[in-house]
Structure 1
Amino acid sequence: MAIKHLRVAFASQYQPGQPARMQAGAPLQEPGGDYEMLHKQMKRLFNSKPGKKYGRFSEDIGENPFSAWLKDYLEDKQTFASLTDRLFGQWQELLNGAQEEFSGHLMLVHEALADGEVAYLLILESDSALRFDGNQALDSTDVLSLSRLNLAVRIELDDWLSGNTSENYLTLVHGRGTGEAGELFIRLCGFTNQVDVEKETLTFLDAVEAFAKSSEPEEAGKVRARAYEFCKEQHALGEPVEISALSGYLDESQPERFREFASQTAEMPESGVLHPDHRKVKKLVRIAGSGGGMSVSFSSDLVNQAVYYDRDKDALTITRLPKALREQLQRYLEDRND
């Protein structure tokens, strides 16, 4: 990982109706050190965030000029300092009209990776911490939060500039509870949603389930498990699921078999890329449900081995109970009898 350029500005709006305050730092080129460590942690939080959205820049440059400014910078038509001056200025204008209080650091990072270049635009949050001052009196201070990231966007610069109309080169983190600031951040990015994650999750699940059922019975469970493992690994990397790569992962001896099967049995996107929600993909390997004071979860491999379901009686029989559960039940029954 190598940061080419980075710049941060602190913005605050404590009195709605009044001008927002903006204090920008100097633009940094290849800052290294602590900045690399901070960015690495923010990327880790970004990749681990569930419920990300995928899309592109809005074509309305008048309302959303960030993409035009960014393109001018990448084509050496303006400096990184000029780009960020404009970006921070627009963020201040958006906050001027905000009706809710806000404070936070806006950070733009241009990063060069081995397989291409990306840019991140993030809102860094703060935590309150206690310290002793020079007179050994207790004082409070604000420190950057290294455990929260609720507003951020990643731009796959190579995919964007390639002009491939099937690519969704923006990945957005838009956490719940961000309120008005979250909507203003989306406007600042110029993000438009192009991917129905729920639909693509169902497409993924249906394709894998159909493929598993078409396999030999003893292989079906392995297919589901490997598909879930692949999806989980991609989520950890912050990457979508490429059907061709998944196909090779499911069957190394016949790497095209799943891709060809899926293209015939499911409505696959033209790009050959899906963005399933890894939380829902877990259904491939676990069966779970809750309600009426009960919560049950177990591996799907245990069906008809340690877990038996009687459809006629709508009854579930569980054998080989986990040790901790068995001990809790025994203690409960003993206490109740006493």
Structure 2
Amino acid sequence: MPIRHSIIHQIDKKPDGSPAVLQLSGTELHESQATENMLHDLNLAYNAKTGKGWGFFHAQSGAFPLSGWLQTFIDGGDFIEFSITAVEHLTRLMEESNLSVGGHVLFAHYQQGMTEYLVVALLQHSESVTVNADLSVTPSKHLDFGNIHLATRINLSEWRNNPQSRQYISFLKGSKGRKATDYFRDFIGCQEGVDGPGETRTLLKAFSDFVAAEDLHEDSAREKTQALVSYSMAQAKIGEPIALDELSELIDEDRPKAFYDFIRNKDYGLSPEIPADKRTLNQYRRFTGRTNGLSISFESHMLGSAIEYDAEAGSLLMRDLPTQLRDQLKRASA
């Protein structure tokens, strides 16, 4: 993971409402194993976070200036100057919101494979204890990557090469409500372009329809489900989107375009690449069973809502039956 530029500034802001104090760095971080480890640990923590948003830049304006400053840097501008201008803007927005404490602000421009990224993250410290060489103990501080609430990762290659994309920016939505994070989204100048959980649910619905249309044997359906979940979770782990053509190949090696063509022909409205939402994927598991001409298959999240299970009677109560099935039953009972 070649790191092209990286720098850390500090915003000292207390929760008591006192003015923020900005401490600027005039030098980039040196290329070192420690810097690489820091960025690696940050990426791991960021990828593991659920509740991300995906979007794209607002048109550059006085309210949303970051994309213009970033473009100037990409076109050959100075990285330190870009980071200082950006963190000063972030500090002003933080003051206005009065809902955030400060921290160390990391700007890192790096390359992963053939793709360039910019990550901006507000990092906090945690107190811990270390054992010295003489076996005494002293308090120490370390960056708490598990406690990241404000961060964004911008796919610079996607932004530059595919300006029509609506998902080249990802950002943490945070667990403290929108008011606590809106100022950071304003700092990015980002509008949400893709509903990650919604897109993932649509993909899973398309897969369920595909399994039903193919009339797959239970073992085959389970195998393909495992392929879908494993690939999607692996993509989420490394912060990469689900590529529908790759997924289609994994689901059916003998007919690598079958699932991809099914999605396109049914027009589910999915982009060729969609963000993988880990929370939605974690909830996804199918209950399936066949016996004496009866075939039942449903997603786990339906249990307790649309479907109720009576363990004592060994029966299922199903609501909201598909329209096509209800029409068939009406005709059969007429």
Shorter-chain TM range is 0.7 to 0.9
CA RMSD, Structure 1 to Structure 2 (Å) = 3.0
Q: What is aligned with 1:292?
A: none
Tell me, yes or no, if structure 1 residue 119 matches structure 2 residue 115. no
Paired letter, 2:310? D
State the partner residue of 1:195: 194
SS in 1 for 2:54: strand
In structure 2, the gaps of 5 or more residues are 298-306, 315-334
**Which stretch of the first structure deviates more once superposed, 24-33 or 42-51?**
24-33
Deviation for aligned residue 1:312: 11
Q: How does 1:240-279 map to 2 (within 5 A)?
A: 240-269=241-270, 271-279=271-279
Which whole-Å CA distance do the structure 2 matches of 1:220 and 1:226 have between them? 10
Please state how far the C-alpha of 1:101 moved relative to its aligned partner: 5.2
- Percent identity between matched residues is 22
1:26 Cα deviation from its structure 2 partner: 3.3
Task: Provide closer, same or farther for how the CA distance between residues 139 and 184 of structure 1 changes in structure 2, counting only shifts above 3 A.
Answer: farther
1:63 aligns with 2:41: no
- C-alpha separation between the residues in 1 aligned to 2:156 and 2:35? 21
In 1, Cα distance between the equivalents of 2:104 and 2:83? 13
**Paired residues for 1:39-58 under 5 Å:** 39-58=39-58
1:224 counterpart = 2:225? yes
- The CA distance in 2 between the partners of 1:137 and 1:58, in whole Å, is 54
What's the counterpart of residue 28 of structure 1? Answer: 28
Q: Is the 8 A contact 2:66 2:189 kept in 1?
A: yes
Give me the whole-angstrom Cα distance separating, in 2, the residues matched to 1:172 and 1:31: 26
1:277 is displaced (CA, Å) by 2.4
State the distance in 2 between where 1:313 and 1:150 align: 39
- Which position in structure 1 is the counterpart of 2:234? 233
SS state of the match for residue 267, structure 1? coil
Secondary structure of the structure 2 residue equivalent to 1:102:
coil
Partner Cα separation in structure 1 for residue 179 and residue 238 of structure 2: 29
Contact 2:60-2:67 at 8 Å conserved across structures: no
- Please give the alpha-carbon distance, in whole angstroms, between the structure 2 residues aligned to 1:249 and 1:5: 37
Alpha carbons of structure 1 residues 266 and 34: separation in structure 2 relative to 1, 3 Å: same
Over 6 Å off, 4+ runs: 136-139
**2:95 aligned with 1:99, yes or no?**
no
Moved more, 92-101 or 48-57: 92-101
CA distance in 1, matches of 2:279, 2:252: 24
1:171 is paired with a residue whose SS is strand
Counterparts of 1:272-311 in structure 2, within 5 Å, are 272-286=272-286, 300=287
- The answer to whether the 8 A contact 2:15-2:101 is kept is no
- Verify: 1:315 aligned to 2:311, yes or no: yes
Post-superposition offset of 1:205: 1.3
1:174 is matched by which residue type in structure 2? K
Q: Deviations over 1:46-94 (max 9, x none)?
A: 1111121100111142111111111100101x20111011012112212
CA distance in 1, matches of 2:123, 2:309: 54
Q: CA deviation at 1:144?
A: 1.6
Q: Distance in 2 between matches of 1:204 and 1:80?
A: 39
1:323 corresponds in structure 2 to none
302 and 50 in structure 1: CA distance in 2 versus 1, 3 angstrom threshold: farther
Q: Decide whether the 8 Å contact of 1:64 with 1:188 is kept in 2.
A: yes
Cα pair distance change 1:69/1:102, threshold 3 Å: same
How far the C-alpha of 1:302 sits from its partner, in A, is 7.5
TM alignment of 1:158-237, pairs within 5 A: 158-177=157-176, 180-215=179-214, 216-218=216-218, 219-237=220-238
For 2:158, the aligned partner's letter is: D
- Normalising by structure 2, we get a TM-score of 0.79
| Alpha-carbon separation, structure 2, partners of 1:139 and 1:179 | 38
Following superposition, the deviation at residue 275 of structure 1 comes to: 2.6
Check 1:241–1:316 CA distance in 2 against 1; reply closer, same or farther (3 A cut). Answer: farther
- 2:149, 2:231 → 1: CA distance? 25
Offset, 1:232: 1.0
State the one-letter code of the partner of 2:231. F
- Is the contact made by 1:8 and 1:107 (CA closer than 8 Å) also made in structure 2? yes
| C-alpha distance in structure 2 between counterparts of 1:207 and 1:220, whole Å | 14
| 1-structure distance, mates of 2:279, 2:178 | 24
Preserved CA contact (<8 Å) 1:108 1:119:
yes
Contact 1:70/1:83 (CA < 8 Å) preserved in 2? yes
In structure 2, relative to structure 1, the CA distance for the partners of 1:107 and 1:303 (3 Å cut) is farther
Q: Number of residue pairs matched? A: 297
Task: Give the Cα–Cα distance (whole angstroms) in 2 for the partners of residues 43 and 93 of structure 1.
Answer: 27
Q: Which amino acid aligns with 2:52?
A: K
Conserved 8 A contact 2:56-2:165: no
Q: Could you tell me how far apart the structure 2 residues matched to 1:33 and 1:52 are? A: 29
1: CA distance, partners of 2:15 / 2:175:
23
Q: Are the counterparts in 2 of residues 20 and 92 from structure 1 also a CA contact under 8 Å?
A: yes
